[in-house]
Each structure stands twice: as structure tokens, then as C-alpha cells.
Structure 1
Amino acid sequence: MAGALRRAGQGRRRGERGSTRVRGLLTAIVVVLAVGVGAKVWGLAGWEGDLPPDDPTAYAFLRLHERTQQPVVWDPCLPIQVVVNEKSAPEGSETLLAEAIARVSEASGLRLEVVGATLEEPDPERTARELRNGRPGAGRAPVLFAWTTPDVVPRLEGTVAGVGGPVTQFGNRSDTTRYIGGSVYLDGPQLARTLRRDNGHAVARSIVMHELAHLVGLDHVENTRQVMAPKVNPRVTEFAMGDLAGLRRLGSGGCPYSVG
């Protein structure tokens, strides 16, 4: 993937400090190696059993408006721009990301678009700083999508394949709470190993889809037929009914930000 993207600006766009509070969310997906003679898949403990029935109500949101209990969303009238750090990208990563973005965009109606490459490094402390201090600027900055390693992002240690989520700008009397940015960090070496396994491309793509779905506002669910289950199942590589219903709600609002 290196060299395939045009280089984006180094810094995130920043304006004057807004009066609203800002908070970041990062949610992880876990990959568990199925242990056994000849086992060549990644998945849940007990993945050999039957999957539960698909369920169009099997979705959850990362954040709800307190008064209406409707999901917090991105402005659906603006594209969600993404810059990519390719430093630890596995072979084929450009295709994985493009396919995952296409699926999330189609399911939600939100416009995710890669606008270039970046040298910006993942910063595991960024979210903590935002929680303490708020994020400078109320304008939307590109989402940082980074192929990285556990040495850079300690939350990727062990079986965690990726972490991702949005940054929330809390509203005031003149504006509504909404997502204005975010980040996705994926363990490049772990995804490279996944790609070498049976059905590896589809499994790796589902991990990218999972993290992008966190970025646009979906949370984990217990129904293991959904891509948004917290652990990877090699038989679940496309969004199921619950995933699709949740994504539709996140992108169905009008301008600005109304969700029915």
C-alpha cells in the first residue's frame, strides 16, 4: 500500500477552541486462536457450534442523546475523511480498506473517503488528553486510520486486532452533540498473519469493517452472528441484519444530525 496514496497534510486541521466538551471513544475487537489439531482459523471459543439466529434488533450504539435516547451521529451531509498511516500495513491493505469502507458507506449512507496518506503516528494518549482537556477546534479533522503494532499502541497487545471509535463534541443551546473525528488503529502484523490463513482476506476485511463501524457509532453486541460481536468468528465476514439495521439508523438523519 505504501506509495499508493497521495500525501496529506501533516497536522490535523484545528480552529479556535469551542465552548463544547469533547470526548473520545476507542473500542477493541479481539481475535482468539482456536486451539486444536490442524486448526487454521481465528474465532470465538466454541465457534464450532451453531450460530444464533440472525436478529434485526441486534445492534447497539456507542452513545445516545440523554433526552431523546436517539444515537449520536456524524453529520450525514459531510464526508468522513480518512488519512492512512501505512507504516505497518500488510500486503493487500489498500484493497481491504477500500472494500470495508465501501460496505460501511453503502450500509449507512455515510460517505467515508480516503483523502491521502499521512506520517502521523498513532498516539495512545490522545484520547486521555481529550477527556481531560477537550479537543482544540470545533471543525472536523480527518480520521486517522493507522496500520500499527502493539509496541506503538499497547492496547493491541495479545489477541486484540484493532481499536477504533469516534470523538464526540457535546452540544450546547445552539448546537447538538455529534461526532466530529476519530481514529482506527489496527495491528498490521496480526492482520498479515490472518491474511495467510484459510479465508483470511474475508476475515481480515471483517475486522476492518468492525472498527469502521465503531468509528461511525456502533457498539458491541452479544449476538455472535453479527460482525459487531466483540470477537472474530471466521464464519461471520459480512454485516448481518442487526449490523445493517444499526448502520442505517446512524446514517438516516437529515441535516443537521436529526435521527428518527
Structure 2
Amino acid sequence: MSRLAARRRIAATLPCQASPVGGGSRAGGPAAAQDQAPVASADVVGVGNEVVAVVRRMMVRLVAAAVAVVGCPVLLSDSGLRPDSWATAQPPAPHARSADAAAVDPPDPLLPIPAQSGVVVSAAPDHHYVSPNAKFTVTGRISNEGAAFKDAAHALLEQRFGGEWVPVGKPVKAAADGTYALPAVSEDLQAQTSYRVVVPRGGATLATSREFTIELAAGRHTAFKLLGGARWQPCAGTQVREIKYGINLASIPPGYAGADEAAKRAAMIADVAGAVEQLALATGLKFTRVEHEQPIPQQPGSGAAALQPFLGGAELVIGFADNSASATSTLLPAKVGRSSGWGSYVDTNGDGFIDQGYVVLDARHRLDGGYKSSRNGTWQQIIMHEVAHASGLSHPDDAKQLMHPQINPALTTWGAGDLNGLQRIGLRPKQDSPKRIAGLRGDACA
């Protein structure tokens, strides 16, 4: 049984410690009781909506008042509220009396309690993609109107489980400047799981961070390396800019099937476009193909000679070559070796942004077209690997990553390390994005 399932079972057996109902989890004090309005019995089924609503509200208040006697805060859900807006309800206060002794109704327990003015909490994980049962860390800062929260504050990580927000671990005290670090393990994760951080205080929640997601992928999530530190400039002012790429099909590899040369060329273009699309999805960058037939990339020179005569404004060119008279590249070995391709980039002035990227594929290799699990690997796998080089990633030491120097033919998706690396060289989300990465400043156009 997982720890989360165990916590849920234990909570169900304690009268004052039950899992919250859909998003109002409590920390720093007794856990919230899971008390929901009783379901209407058969004799009220079919009664008008107004009568059902009145009966439900009366029963909800009775439940809240009864639990208040034993001092258990109650979490109440209402179908009209979104899961992320459900809030902890305080026990009803004793009826107050006005000057004319008229009774004043207690606060409606279904209404959310407003957060303390000015208190905010930020939160971001160090990695968005992890393998099962892997450790990751969530960091952020608790502040009050921009300044560090001066009272002793704690941060608590919560995980969305179905319609509920479930505490993960114990609250961690923030440092004097309001910063905190919450360790976590990717247990009980679905394909994609939402998390948030709350600031508990005396049975209430002072602040709640924006949600962020953690996704499962293969291999070690730390298994990525950067190639020199440069990346594509993602922005043109406040807009995501187009990175233009071109293709050279001077040589058709023997593995491509087709009725004629036109069909084979169409399949090759589809593989290149598919690989670039996978790169775009993982990085958030925008790539657009230019139709010009490009020159085959060569070994770049130095200084001004480093830039190659790509056409149509292309910044990235993917070419197939076989070292024949019409399809030669100085990036290919004289004889066919184990390497099926070469990918890299040029940063001429060292500003950290790529000026040109280039990929050369050795068309003398016999690989299948398409992108699938294959005995020998496929061209689209190779192209994905090489365009990631041309965008700023190097080789990791984890064979479960597509960027490993010896690609496993069975791999059909990016691994966890690949995806974390591609996020770092791609469009970096701003602080209010669920994809924000701890320690990286967001791009202006994100």
C-alpha cells in the first residue's frame, strides 16, 4: 500500500482527522474533518430543486454545528464551487444580538474564508518530469505585500488526488526571508499530477500558491546535459518568434519505402517535420519550415565564416548526405561508421543565443522511416536526437533517454531527463505559469 493510500485509510478511522474534500486541506493544526451534507433519502427524490436546496442547507448547518461542539473544523463541498475554490469553513459563531435583540444568522459554512490580505506564496518544482518514486524539491517564498512574512510561517505541499487536495509530508518552516524548500517523492503519481503549496495558520489557510504539474517519464529526471549553454532566442519583443528551418534531400536513404522518388521524399519530409514538431512541443518554441531547397550543412568555420549560406532566412537546416559528388558534407566520415548523424549549432558572439543550427544525416545507413519501436531504430528517432543537439542539448549517461549517444531502438518518446533539459533550453515560463522552473527567470514572451 502506498503512503498516500495509507494516510487516506488512517484518516478515515479518526473522528477529527479526515482527508479534505476537494481542495480545502488543512495543516499546522488538526486535520480537517471530512463531513459532507447527507444525501437526500428516497422520500425527497423528485421534490422541486428549491425544497432540496433548503433541506440540504439545513442539514449542512446541523452537521457543522454538531462537529463544532467537539472542536473539529469542517470541510464542506458545494456543487456550485470548483474544486480549487473549496475552502475550510470555521465553526458557526454563537448568535449575536443586535440592539433590538433580533437574532443574526451565523456565517454560512459554505462560503470560503478570504485569505489574509497581502500574504502570498510562490511555488515551483526543480523538475517537471520525473520517474516513479523519484525525489524532487519544491521551492518558493512566503511574503506579505512583497516583504518577507515576519511571523513564523510554514509551507505545506498538497497533491490533487481525484477531487481532493491531500497533504504531502509535514509543514516546513520558512527561513527568515520567507524562502522554503519542500522535499517530495513522486509516489502515487498519475501520468500528470497537480500540486500546490499552502500556508497554514491556526486552523486556517493564509495563502495558496498556483497549481503546478509533475509528469511521469522514463529514466532519471536529472539525466540531461547542456551543449555549451546556448539556446534559441525564443522571443521577438513580447511575442514568441518563428524559428525557420529548412531541409535538404540530396540523398535518399535505402530504408525509405515508396512507389517512386516523390513518395520517398514526401516520407522523408514527414519524418523531419514530425521530429521538429516533437522538439517544439517539448520546448515551447515555434518552428516554421521554409520551402527553399537548402545547401547541405558543412563543418562551420570560425568568426564570420561560421555562418553558412542557408536560404529563405532558415536558421536550422537538416540535410541528408552520402558523400557522393552531389551530396557531400565535411561533417560525415569517409566511410560509414556507427554514427547516423551529426547535429550542433553556432553562437558567433557568445551571447548565449544560437545563430544557426545544423544537422547532417548519413543517408548510407539503412533505417526505417517513421517513428516507432524498431529493431534498428528509425530516422525520426535519429532526427529528434540531432535537432535537440542543434538546439542546445548534449549526451546524458542514462540509456533510457533519447539523447543518449547510443539510442535504444525501442524508445519512442523523450525521457524524463530529455524533457527537463529541453524545458531549460526552450521557452521559459513566467513565475505564474504551472510550468515554471525553480531558479530560471521566465522569458518576456512566455
Do the aligned residues in 1 keep the contact of 2:278 with 2:384 (CA within 8 Å)?
yes
Do the aligned residues in 2 keep the contact of 1:82 with 1:113 (CA within 8 Å)?
yes
Q: Deviations over 1:170-227 (max 9, x none)?
A: 34xxxx331111211011231xx21179727963211010001001100011100000
Q: Is the partner of 1:189 in helix, strand or coil? A: coil
Q: Deviations over 1:13-63 (max 9, x none)?
A: xxxxxxxxxxxxxxxxxxxxxxxxxxxxxxxxxxxxxxxx71111100001
Q: Is the partner of 1:178 in helix, strand or coil? A: coil
- Aligned residue in 1 for 2:360: 185
C-alpha distance in 2, partners of 1:136/1:88?
20
- Aligned residue in 2 for 1:143: 316
Q: Does 1:159 align with 2:338?
A: yes
Cα gap change, 1:83 to 1:223, in 2 (>3 Å): same
RCO higher in structure (CA 8 A, sep ≥6):
1
Cα gap change, 1:145 to 1:215, in 2 (>3 Å): same
Do the aligned residues in 1 keep the contact of 2:319 with 2:360 (CA within 8 Å)?
yes
- Aligned residue in 1 for 2:271: 96
C-alpha distance in 2, partners of 1:241/1:119?
33
- Aligned residue in 1 for 2:118: none
- Aligned residue in 2 for 1:57: 222
Q: Does 1:213 align with 2:388?
A: yes
C-alpha distance in 2, partners of 1:203/1:145?
16
Q: Does 1:242 align with 2:242?
A: no
C-alpha distance in 2, partners of 1:188/1:231?
18
CA offset at residue 144 of structure 1?
A: 2.1
C-alpha distance in 1, partners of 2:308/2:246?
19
C-alpha distance in 2, partners of 1:236/1:247?
17
C-alpha distance in 2, partners of 1:198/1:76?
32
Matches within 5 A, 1:69-88: 72-77=230-235, 78-88=241-251
Cα gap change, 1:115 to 1:200, in 2 (>3 Å): farther
What is the TM-score with the length of structure 1 in the denominator? 0.63
CA offset at residue 248 of structure 1?
A: 0.8
Q: Is the partner of 2:386 in helix, strand or coil? A: helix
- Aligned residue in 2 for 1:39: none
Q: Deviations over 1:115-161 (max 9, x none)?
A: 1131523333xx1x225855499xx7532211111452353431210
Do the aligned residues in 2 keep the contact of 1:76 with 1:254 (CA within 8 Å)?
no
What is the TM-score with the length of structure 2 in the denominator? 0.38
C-alpha distance in 2, partners of 1:198/1:141?
31
Q: Is the partner of 2:302 in helix, strand or coil? A: helix
- Aligned residue in 2 for 1:15: none
Do the aligned residues in 2 keep the contact of 1:83 with 1:118 (CA within 8 Å)?
yes
Cα gap change, 1:132 to 1:181, in 2 (>3 Å): closer
Q: Is the partner of 2:358 in helix, strand or coil? A: strand
- Aligned residue in 1 for 2:404: 229
- In the alignment, residue 163 of structure 1 is paired with which amino acid? W
- Aligned residue in 2 for 1:7: none
Q: Does 1:111 align with 2:276?
A: no
- Which structure 2 residue ranges, 5 or more long, are not aligned? 1-217, 236-240, 254-263, 431-438, 442-446
- In the alignment, residue 302 of structure 2 is paired with which amino acid? E
C-alpha distance in 2, partners of 1:133/1:198?
40
- In the alignment, residue 85 of structure 1 is paired with which amino acid? N
Cα gap change, 1:198 to 1:73, in 2 (>3 Å): closer
Q: Deviations over 1:49-100 (max 9, x none)?
A: xxxx711111000013xxxxxxx22111222211111111342211111111
Structure ID, larger Rg:
2
Mean Cα deviation higher: 146-155 or 76-85: 146-155
Do the aligned residues in 2 keep the contact of 1:202 with 1:237 (CA within 8 Å)?
no
Do the aligned residues in 2 keep the contact of 1:166 with 1:179 (CA within 8 Å)?
yes
- Aligned residue in 2 for 1:169: 348
C-alpha distance in 1, partners of 2:348/2:428?
17
Give the CA RMSD over aligned residues. Answer: 3.0
CA offset at residue 238 of structure 1?
A: 1.5
Q: Is the partner of 2:390 in helix, strand or coil? A: helix
Matches within 5 A, 1:26-65: 54-64=219-229
- Which structure 1 residue ranges, 5 or more long, are not aligned? 1-52, 65-71
CA offset at residue 233 of structure 1?
A: 1.4
C-alpha distance in 1, partners of 2:281/2:344?
19
C-alpha distance in 1, partners of 2:317/2:359?
6
C-alpha distance in 1, partners of 2:419/2:323?
31
